[in-house]
């Protein structure tokens, strides 16, 4: 499919500088864009590519003024990144159009007590246990498992191999990617006098609110008692561990390989980088931002940025990083000073000995 710059501009409520009849048939990165492709520019460090790209159309901000002549057509919008993401979504709908149709592939096991809504697709080799309720327009792909008494809202998509344990509650418009596990046992063991551990029964559940997306191979443990919560609009990357009784705030984002320990509350609109470790029983304020590989073992206030392990406020961490880089030089200078002090002490001792003779 091809679209003209004019059509795209009208769709994005933008303005055109250049050839409004320029056509595009694919989306690409600005550094690798070729003829017939559409790119975007939002980060100033990529501006140099604008003057060399072969792309036909580039989306830029309304206040952007090129420093050099450009060969492509520009579409100026309020927010280039958001506009491009809208186009990516539309492109994905066309190119990766879901070819499933409502119905139940065989073989499957669906308990007679389960209630299935309208326009639902269930792939082959799925298991749906007793008293499960599935809403309308859901897609459940092959080899998914849904445990007893689970409730699933409308427009939910479970990709292949997703495992949903008993009594989980999923809201509307949720996407869970392949092999994620929702509702597995919380990690609870009571140490015994003889050095062994007794397992503590995990009798709670997991509640995932509306508009959440959960990445592949992510695990979310059910609560010991009560519920583990993933609040509305949260986005979880792949390979994340959410422990029992954690509460992930609304519209928070957690990147891959991060782990949140039991009973910690993550404030709304927080941003957690990759490989972050967060200790248990903490309260992290709204808008908390944590850089990649940081370690958090304390409560945080609202709208604070943290980096490093153990974590520090951003400005302190940046100063510490400068010092870390200079440590070899500092060590060398310390050794030189120690040698000079040793020489001075030897000279003083020699003078003192001479005077005492």
Which positions are annotated as active-site residues?
244
Q: Is the separation of the CB atoms in 28 and 55 below 8 Å?
A: yes
Q: Is the separation of the CB atoms in 116 and 134 below 8 Å?
A: yes
Tokens of 258: 């991060």
CA separation, residue 77 to residues 17, 223, 274 (Å): 11, 45, 31
Q: Which of 202, 140, 124, 142 is nearest to 166 (CA)?
A: 202
Tokens of 323: 């010092």
Q: Which of 206, 80, 218 is nearest to 161 (CA)?
A: 218
CA distance 115 to 110: 9
Beta-ladder partners of 73: 57
User: Where does the chain have alpha helices with state H?
Assistant: 5-12, 47-50, 80-95, 314-355
Neighbours of 63 (CB within 10 A): 7
CA distance 160 to 83: 30
The DSSP letter of residue 267 is P
Omega of the bond leading into 310 within 30 degrees of 0 (cis): yes
CA distance 116 to 136: 8
Neighbours of 7 (CB within 10 A): 13
């Amino acid at each position: 499919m091809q679209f003209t710059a004019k059509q795209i501009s009208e769709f994005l409520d933008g303005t055109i500088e250049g050839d409004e009849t320029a056509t595009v048939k694919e989306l690409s990165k600005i550094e690798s864009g070729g003829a017939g492709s559409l790119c975007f520019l939002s980060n100033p460090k990529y501006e140099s590519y604008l003057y060399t790209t072969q792309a036909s159309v580039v989306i830029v901000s309304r206040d952007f003024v090129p420093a050099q002549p450009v060969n492509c057509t520009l579409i100026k919008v309020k927010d280039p990144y958001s506009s491009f993401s809208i186009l990516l979504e539309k492109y994905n709908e066309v190119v990766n159009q879901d070819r499933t149709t409502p119905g139940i592939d065989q073989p499957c096991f669906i308990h007679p007590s389960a209630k299935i809504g309208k326009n639902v697709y269930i792939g082959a080799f799925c298991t749906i246990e007793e008293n499960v309720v599935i809403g309308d327009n859901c897609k459940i792909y092959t080899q998914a498992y849904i445990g007893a008494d689970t409730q699933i809202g409308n427009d939910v998509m479970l990709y292949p191999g997703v495992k949903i344990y008993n009594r989980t509650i999923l809201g509307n418009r949720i996407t869970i990617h392949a092999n994620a596990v929702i509702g597995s046992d919380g990690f609870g063991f009571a140490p015994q006098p003889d050095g062994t551990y007794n397992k503590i029964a995990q009798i709670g559940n997991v509640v995932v609110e509306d508009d959440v997306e959960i990445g592949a191979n992510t695990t979310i443990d059910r609560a010991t008692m009560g519920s583990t919560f993933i609040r509305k609009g949260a986005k979880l990357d792949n390979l994340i561990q959410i422990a029992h009784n954690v509460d992930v705030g609304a519209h928070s984002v957690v990147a891959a390989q991060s782990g949140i320990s039991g009973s910690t509350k993550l404030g709304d609109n927080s941003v957690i980088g990759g490989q972050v470790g967060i200790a248990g029983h903490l309260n992290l304020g709204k808008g908390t931002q944590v850089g990649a590989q940081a370690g958090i073992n304390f409560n945080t206030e609202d709208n604070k940025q943290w980096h490093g392990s153990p974590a520090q406020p951003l400005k302190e961490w940046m100063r510490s990083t400068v010092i870390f880089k200079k440590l070899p030089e500092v060590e060398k200078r310390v050794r030189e000073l120690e040698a000079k002090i040793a020489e001075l002490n030897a000279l003083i001792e020699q003078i003192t000995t001479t005077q005492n003779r």
